Amino acid sequence: MSEATRAPGALAGKRVIDLTRVLGGPYCTQILGDHGAEIIKIEPPQGDEVRDWGPPFHEGDASYFIGLNRNKRSLGLDLSKPEGRDVLMRLLENADALIENYKPGTMERWGIGYEDVLSQRFPELVHCRISGYGGDGPLGGYPGYDAIIQGTAGWFSVNGTPDTGPTRVGIPMVDMGTGLYAAIAILMAIIERGSSGRGQYIDMTLFDSAVALMHPYLINYLLSDTVPTATGNAHPNVSPYDKFRTKTVDIFFGCGNDRAFGKLCTVLGRPDLPEDPRFNSNGGRVTNREALTGELESVLVKLDGEAICEKLLKAGVPAGPVLDTAQMYHHEHTKYREMAVSKDWYKMSGIPIKLSRTPGSIRSLPPKFGEHGRDILAEAGYEAGEIDALVEGGTVLEQRRS
């Protein structure tokens, strides 16, 4: 890791109290933590359940947890106890943001809802709630996981092929997309607070995020009144934009305009194709996609995939081989971009947001459950005896409760 990765970060001095578990919320706070925010991860007595989502494991913590929780400190806290809620309120005194993903209404039942309590006691606090569907409406209050929302929001229907039928997107992009939206929303609210002096409540849902990410399928439907179907690896609006067989490996390339298509055909030795009335416009190429694929693959199956990708890239046509996870991680460009990082036992993707003056950094590894509880409480003004009492009373936990 370079010296730049040890910089304080653009969000140095900001404190976020993180009550989230699983994926969307932890992904959001890892982004904020990577860029210098202090993240206090408050875990319930049983811990964040994704600590168990393995194998593989490292010292009892699953890969799923490890991939989402660097640059955080962990405090085990039972918020169902009044004493636990008192601890939370103490920690919020110096916090910029609170993020949680409890079932809507939970915070209110505990007597620490935003409108009646938090906004009154901490008027500058930004409170972000992530839920499946929100607190009201036909689906309000119901739980939601990534795959369930993918199905409800139409993602299954446009993913896969006619042979596979509706298929889940392998990467949990509903959760991760919601985490990204939540990070943007928190930063927006903090920026706005600079002029108004007031915090605000952010209502983030997996469902809203999934609907917003249904591009271009939703707008295609609204303009054509034709329900989109799965197109496999092909783009619904652009051709050629697909995976193709070669003599050695599968490759993917895309031509977003006629000029790029002309360059592709020149490299492949088929300058006749752009003159073919079936293929001389993008609309024609989309309509005649199957015929075009046949023409292209008749050439590609005789060529080395890696070599042809290099020629296409040099000609200005976006192209690349289809790699697996290991090939991607060990690729020279992944290393060059510092997207393959390691520190002690920890190996993970790097930080994608590259700021020139205030780069992000990996300052601490994913915490063990409750690892920093005593330090966090001491910093909040608790005396050693008070901390001992909270631990002995089961309000603050140093070991996960089964």
For residue 372, pLDDT over 90 is answered with yes
CATH class held by domain 241-329? alpha beta
Question: What is the rounded average pLDDT of the residues 375-383?
Answer: 98
Where residue 97 falls (left for φ over 0; alpha for ψ -120 to 50; beta otherwise) is beta
Instruction: Name the segment(s) of the chain with CATH classification 3.30.1540.10.
Output: 241-329
In angstroms, the Cα distances linking 213 to 25, 101, 225 are: 18, 20, 19
Residue 261: the pLDDT is: 98
CATH architecture entry for 3-213+339-397: 3-Layer(aba) Sandwich (3.40)
Q: H/E element holding 24?
A: helix 24-34
- Residues 40-87: tens digit of each pLDDT: 999 999 999 999 999 999 999 999 999 999 999 999 999 999 999 999
Tell me if residue 175 is catalytic. yes
Question: What is the rounded average pLDDT of the residues 266-295?
Answer: 97
Question: What is the rounded average pLDDT of the residues 365-389?
Answer: 98
Question: What is the rounded average pLDDT of the residues 257-264?
Answer: 98
For residue 4, pLDDT over 80 is answered with no
Is 0.85 surpassed by the pTM of this model? yes
What is the distance between the alpha carbons of residues 140 and 158, in angstroms, rounded to a whole number?
25
For residue 293, pLDDT over 50 is answered with yes
Identify the active-site residue in 48, 78, 175, 242: 175
The residue that leads in pLDDT, 254 or 7, is: 254
The residue that leads in pLDDT, 222 or 402, is: 222
- Residues 148-204: tens digit of each pLDDT: 999 999 999 999 999 999 999 999 999 999 999 999 999 999 999 999 999 999 999
Instruction: Name the segment(s) of the chain with CATH classification 3.40.50.10540.
Output: 3-213+339-397
Q: pLDDT averaged over the chain?
A: 96
Band (387; pLDDT cuts 50, 70, 90):
very high
Residues 377 and 350 sit within 8 Å (Cβ to Cβ): no
Residue 6: the pLDDT is: 62
Band (114; pLDDT cuts 50, 70, 90):
very high
